[in-house]
Homo-oligomer: A and B are copies of this chain.
Amino acid sequence: MEVNRSDTATRILEVSELLFVEHGFEATSLRMITQQAEVNLAAVNYHFGSKDALFESVFMRRFTPLISACLAELDALEAKGAGDSIERVVMTFIRPCLALSRDPARGGALFVRLLSRALVENHRLLREALSREYSEFVERYTQAFRRALPELGEQDLSWRMHFAFGLMFNAFAGNDVLKIFRKSPVVTARDPEAIVQHLVPFVLAGLTMPASD
C-alpha cells in the first residue's frame, strides 16, 4: 500500500540522515537505522536495494532541490538584468542554503552538514553522480562570477570562487574549527540569519578586493 510504503521509507530516510551526519556513512549500521526507525532490518534492502543506494537517496532528496533553487534564483537575477552585482549573485546561493537551514523539521539543517561531510570525505558514492549531473551548477556560477567581477583574470577568479564556496559551505554546515578546541563555542548563536549577516560581507570583501594578476 502506498501510504505504508512511504511511511516506512521516509522514516528510514529521516533516521538515516540524522545518523549519517552524526556518525558518518561507514560507522552507521543498518541495524542502528532500523532500530531507531522502528522498522524491520530487511526494510532497507526492500525499499532501497542496498545501503549504498539508501545513502544516495538520503543525499539526493535534499541536494537536487537545493541546486535547482540556486539555479532558478540565478535565472531570475539575470532575467531582470541584475547579473553584474556580485552581492546579488552570491545571494542566489545563500538564500536557498538559508532556507534549508531554517527547515522547521530540522532535516534541512542536518543535510547541510551531511553535504559538507560528503564533500570533504570525497564520497565514492557521490563522486560520479555529482560531476555527471551537476557540473552545470559550477559552469553557471563560474559564468555569473566572471560577469560580475570582470576585472579579474581567470586565475584570480578560480581562486576566489574556490575560497568563497568553501567558506559558505562550511559556514552553513556549522563547521566551527575553533569551537572544537575549547568548551564553549566562539559564536554561541547558531542562528542562520546571524551567520549570513556576517558571512556575506566577509565573502564579498575577499571577492571584490583589487585583482592580483
The chain A residues found within 8 Å of chain B, CB to CB, are 24, 26-27, 116-117, 119-122, 126-127, 130-131, 134-135, 137-139, 142, 156, 158-163, 165-167, 169-171, 173, 175-178, 180-183, 186-187, 197-199, 201-203, 205-206, 209, 212
Write out the residue numbers on chain B whose beta carbons fall within 8 Å of the beta carbon of A135: 181-183
Bound-state Cα–Cα, A176 to B161, Å = 10
Given A117-B120, A175-B120, also A130-B170 (CB < 8 A): no
**Pairs A–B under 8 Å by Cβ, sample size 18:** A24-B24, A26-B27, A119-B177, A119-B180, A120-B173, A127-B180, A130-B180, A131-B181, A134-B181, A159-B187, A163-B171, A163-B202, A165-B177, A165-B178, A166-B171, A166-B177, A167-B167, A205-B206
**A-B contact sample (11 more), CB < 8 A, given A24-B26, A26-B26:** A119-B180, A127-B180, A130-B181, A131-B180, A135-B182, A138-B178, A138-B181, A160-B202, A169-B177, A198-B212, A201-B206
Q: List the number of copies, as a whole number.
A: 2
Bound-state Cα–Cα, A137 to B186, Å = 13
Write out the residue numbers on chain B whose beta carbons fall within 8 Å of the beta carbon of A171: 163, 166
Given A121-B24, A180-B119, A212-B198, also A166-B175 (CB < 8 A): yes
Bound-state Cα–Cα, A120 to B174, Å = 9
* Residue of A134, A166, A177, A209 with highest tally of chain B CB at under 10 A: A177
- Quick one: which of B163, B166, B202 contacts A159, CB cutoff 8 A? B202
A176-B180 in contact (CB<8A): no
A122-B162 in contact (CB<8A): no
